[in-house]
Structure formats: structure tokens, C-alpha cells
Amino acid sequence: MSADIELTWEWPADRAVEQKLLVKVLDVNENSGYFSFNKTPSIASNLPDPVTVSAKLMAQEEEPKNKTVELTLPKLELGSIKTDDLAILGVVEGKICICIKSVESENIDLDKISCP
């Protein structure tokens, strides 16, 4: 599945979120690759225990709803978020996600949610 918006994961590194996306998680997929090739420590771009989250955009400041979003991040950063949950993605530089946080309702004020 090709997503409308593909995000790259990076840790916050003292950066502030520039944009928040409210998403509904459609799928959480662990990606170890064939014979765990993607977990090879010699590949510098690898994330520890990567999972790919596919989601539907529910709200964003500038984009229309119902676009799909895809993000690969460390399993630890995902926390307890699972399929059908709502979450906030904190984005910098348009395509870099620096935080993910579970939320209870679609009717929340994005400005009142801190991420990270």
C-alpha cells in the first residue's frame, strides 16, 4: 500500500513540533525483513525493533481528511498504540515525525496536547 503522506522517524533532539496530525491507526506491522536482514546493526539507518504504522488522517491544520499516512518507528516509541486507536503525530520540517501520542477522542484540541 502506498501512503499519501510518508513520514520519517527521528528522535526530538530538542526540536519543537511544528505541526500535529490526528490519525486513526489502520495497521501496525513489525518489519524485520527476510531473515531479519532489516535488523542488521551494520545498516546505519536501521531503527531498533522497527514497526510500520499505517493510519488515516483525521485532522490536520492544512491538509484535508482521509489521506493515508505511513510511518516506521521504533516499537518502544509506539507504546500501547494499536490498530483502531487514535493518535497524535508531531511533525517537523514537513515529513519528519518526532513523537507519537495516544489520544482518547477525535474531538480534541490539538493545541492542548503536548508532543513530545
What are the pLDDT digits (tens) for 14-30?
A: 999 999 999 999 999 98
Q: Which residues contact 61 (CB under 8 A, 6 or more apart)?
A: 19, 20, 110
What are the pLDDT digits (tens) for 36-46?
A: 555 545 444 57
Please give the model's pTM, rounded to 2 decimal places.
0.83
Amino acid at 49: D
Number of CB atoms found within 10 A of residue 53's CB? 26
Q: How many whole angstroms separate alpha carbon 105 and alpha carbon 27?
A: 18
